[in-house]
Amino acid sequence: MMANHQLAKAIADCGWSEFLRQLEYKAKWHERKIGAINRWFPSSKRCNSCGHILDKLPLEVREWTCPSCNSHNLRDKNAALNIKAVGQTVLACGLSSSGDQSLTDLVILG
Ligand SMILES: [Zn+2]
């Protein structure tokens, strides 16, 4: 995300590392787990209904219709649902995000 100059300043301004530090602290405090997905996981471009992945999705496109299942997707909600599915897959399989198998592979196999 930092490579995108439009987003880089906004991300840098929000204190991303401080947010992660706080999140890890709170998770440990409440005995919760934190996972991270592969930075290249196509969370926005992957249809949460059927798994179809678009070749490209410009940042300015906030809504799109899946050419495979005709599902209408809101970019951010679709990405959130895909990330949630990855987290549920990891929890169901009992794997940690630091394992050898990438989360992207888990989603494709699931
Ligand atoms: Zn679809």
pLDDT band at 108 (very low <50, low <70, confident <90, very high): very low
- CA–centroid distance, residue 68 to ligand 1 (Å): 5
Taking the domains of the chain in order of start, what are their residue ranges? 1-34, 36-109
Please tell me the predicted confidence (pLDDT) of residue 18: 82
Spell out which residues have Cβ within 5 A of ligand 1, the ion.
47, 49-50, 52, 66, 68-69, 71
Q: Is 94 helix (H, G, I), strand (E, B) or coil?
A: coil
At 54 the pLDDT is 97
β-strand partners of 74: 63
| Residue 1 CB contacts under 8 Å (≥ 6 apart), including other chains | 7, 8, 11
| CA 7 to centroid of ligand 1, rounded, Å | 27
How far is Cα 86 from Cα 50, in angstroms, rounded to an integer?
A: 14
Query: 30-80, pLDDT tens digit by residue?
Result: 988 777 777 788 999 999 999 999 999 999 999 999 999 999 999 999 999
Query: What burial letters (b/e) apply to 7-32, b meaning 16+ CB within 10 Å?
Result: eeeeeeeeeeeeeeeeeeeeeeeeee
Residue with the bigger pLDDT between 95 and 43: it is: 43
Q: Kindly give the distance from the C-alpha atom of residue 86 to the centroid of ligand 1, in angstroms, as a whole number.
A: 17
Q: What is the CA radius of gyration of the chain?
A: 15
Q: How far is the CA of 73 from the centre of ligand 1 (A)?
A: 9
